[in-house]
Amino acid sequence: MDQNDLGKIDLQVDLTFHSAPDLFLIGDISSSTNIRLVNPEPWVYDIKKWIISLLENKRDDCPKVLFLARNLSLSLELIDDKKMIELNSFWRQQNQSTDVLSFPALDQELLVPFDGFLELGDIFVSVPMAQRQAHEHHHDLVEELRWLVSHGLLHLLGWDHPDEESLQKMLTCQEHLLNIEGMV
């Protein structure tokens, strides 16, 4: 799918975005990375094209209401390890940082057409953890952030990975989403 294909499905994405504070950034940050850390537009573009791709491929594992809704709402917050530890401790009883947490708001069984904005939920990404993982995997921070946000989005849409088979299906879907051409 290229940029021209995004117009085939009319989809609006309302993103509440909380940018990464400068204090959390380690080392030199490229301008394209900085844009991702402080600007919601590239994220709106990615999220929109990822959801459109899932809809066009008629994924059975997507919530049925997603095929009916054309106005979606979610939040993305780029945070530090301290806040991630607080969230992970409170919600998962794990007193440690993690790379991404998602809090789905979707009712997987909802089938009613929805005229307003369908709330998907919240995604939190630890920028310091993403920086460490990008370094470990020998790729740039933007690639790691996109990986984590796509993973979080799939969780908002009901995906989970309780076993190796479901993890592999989810990772394959993520790879597909991340390989769609578009904004860096």
pLDDT digits (tens, 9 = 90+) for 82-107: 999 999 999 999 999 999 999 999 87
Reading the block at residue 109, the tokens are: 């069984």
> Given this model, what pLDDT does residue 22 score?
66
pLDDT digits (tens, 9 = 90+) for 11-64: 899 999 998 776 555 566 778 888 899 899 999 999 999 999 888 887 667 777
Entry field: residues in the chain: 184
Q: Tokens 């409170």 appear where? A: 90
pLDDT at 170 over 60: yes
Average pLDDT over residues 102-130: 83
Q: 1 falls in which pLDDT band (50, 70, 90)?
A: very low
pLDDT at 182 over 60: no
Please give the mean pLDDT across all residues of the chain: 85
> Given this model, what pLDDT does residue 109 score?
65
CA dihedral 75, 78, 83, 102 (to 10 degrees): 40
Q: Which domains does the chain have, with CATH numbers?
A: 3-178 (3.40.390.30)
Q: Tokens 């394209």 appear where? A: 32
Rounded to whole angstroms, the Cα distance separating 160 from 172 reads 13
Let me know: does 19 contact 38? Beta carbons within 8 Å.
yes
Rounded to whole angstroms, the Cα distance separating 144 from 55 reads 24
